[in-house]
Amino acid sequence: MKHLLFFVFFLSITHLGLSQTTHRDNFSKEYWNDYVGVYSSHEGGTNYTLSITWGNRLILTNLKTGKYSVFDNQDTDRFASGDSLTLRFERSDTNTVSSFVINGTESAEADKESINIENITIQSSGAIIAGTLLKPVGDGPYPLLIMNGGASWIIRDTNLDLALQHVSKGRAAFVYDKRGFGESTGEQSVAFQTTADDINNIARHFSFRMDINPSKIGISTYSQSGWYGTLASSQSDHISFQILNVPAATTIERQERQRIKTEMDLDDFSEQEIENALSLFDLMSNFSKTGTKWDEYISLREKYSDKGWINYLFAPTNNKQETWAWGRMNWQYNPLPALLKTKIPTLVILGENDPKVLPDVNRSIFELVFNTVNPPNSQILVIDKMDHSLTITEKAGRNQPSSYTYAQGYFEAKESWLDKIIHSKK
């Protein structure tokens, strides 16, 4: 998932599987309190969301065009996105942010809408899961989306952008710190089953709240979390629908092998280079599964250490147990048994230009599953020109720059499906 590090989902590490980031930098809760939210354009309608990244960078998303911009702080209540855009916030008499003005290649004024932001802790399998509930102002009850991210998701900020988009449509959304990260306790390297248990305990917690509709609690997954998200939903009586963004339907091992081959081929590596990379991958994979042939693996790893393709692999240079712990637990996880228990409405969204989760391979598996178990109101969509980051790209490949624009049709397809599910009587 090699995109720019500040991209909205922070999925910008190379791999779907083994590697996870372990820290957060320069986090400021004041940014949540002051700027994060939903904004209505003076031209009418809810047009913007403002989320936050690591290092206190703001992401302004235009919900009508799908375009987003990343802003750095310049001065009090003033931010800039490169040389082209400036963002200035205005405050009310009570010193709370009331609106913003954006100038440059895009110019607009927008007022901040009132939403409820509530920090919550939930007990789950010997740990405390800390997160934030975002919802419209009012008594509800509201449908709820539990937001889950990709391989580099560790804290709630990672999933904030899509969460706020749900709030802008009148739904509640819960973002949370993954077990062992941020303000959540517990071990960081755990099996998918433990993470699935966390999701189910979150869903159970909200099913007892008066402001949440217990029959309309769903999950939103992205990439890696599609594996344990579907495991959670297959075991839960409280999850009633699910949105799977660019999910893989194979084992991690098979998924990663396909990814390496596809990305290297698209980025014009030779057949011999691809073959060498896969040989190293197979030795790494063997060590992850069995703990054997380390000497053979590390010897080949050193031989190829200066090759231009080495960073296409997760290829550690130490054999410490903690480096390989997550992979030992999850590397061979097969999602099919959980998928074949799917009984709830499921939306699968794949990208036509996704080199990491190949649309044809994974669509065929999901089609087989849905034809077998026939879950109600389920749908598989392949969005034109969409890459793994849900943005538009003309050419698939790891080295393509971000367009900073969600793929055309992504929002519309998701909203159309959700509207039917949330307003159904079941």
Sorted by where each starts, the structural domains of the chain and their CATH numbers stand as 35-112 (2.40.128.20), 115-250+333-422 (3.40.50.1820), 252-330 (no CATH)
Tens digits of per-residue pLDDT, 356-389?
Answer: 999 999 999 999 999 999 999 999 999 999 999 9
Is the model's pLDDT at 56 over the cut of 90? Answer: no
Supply the pLDDT for residue 426.
Answer: 61
Separation between Cα atoms, residue 254 and residue 336, nearest integer Å: 13
pLDDT band at residue 197 under the 50/70/90 scheme: very high
* Three-class SS state of 354: coil
pTM of the model: 0.92
Range name among 184-188, 369-373, 402-406 with the lowest pLDDT average: 402-406
pLDDT for 3: 31
Q: Which of 34-48, 53-67, 192-206 has the highest mean pLDDT?
A: 192-206
Torsion angle in degrees (nearest 10) through CA of 298, 151, 54, 351: 120
Residue 13 has pLDDT above 60, yes or no: no
- The pLDDT score that the predictor gives to residue 397 is 76
E strands of 137-259, at which residues?
Answer: 142-147, 172-176, 212-222, 241-245
* C-alpha closest to that of 145 among 223, 192, 199: 199
Taking the C-alpha atoms of residue 426 and residue 420, their distance in angstroms, rounded to an integer, is 11
Burial state string for 324-363 with b = 16 or more CB within 10 A and e = fewer than 16: bbbbbebbebebeebbebbebbbbbbbbbbbbbbbbebbb
As a whole number, the mean pLDDT across the chain is 90
In DSSP terms, 122 is beta-bridged to 129
User: For the residues 328-341, what does the mean pLDDT come to?
Assistant: 95
Tell me how far CA of residue 68 lies from CA of 85, 187, 385, 405, in angstroms.
Answer: 12, 34, 17, 6
Q: What is the CA radius of gyration of the chain?
A: 21
Distance CA 268, CA 264 (A): 6
Spatial distance between the Cα atoms of 256 and 335, rounded to a whole number of angstroms: 15
For position 8, what pLDDT does the model report? 33
Mean pLDDT of 55-74: 92
pLDDT value for 403: 86
Cα 34–chain centre separation: 24
- 20 has pLDDT over 50: no
Which residues lie across from 97 on neighbouring strands? Answer: 91
* Position 2 confidence tier, pLDDT thresholds 50, 70, 90: very low
Report residue 55's pLDDT band, with 50, 70 and 90 as the boundaries: confident
Determine contact, residues 27/13, Cβ cutoff 8 Å: no
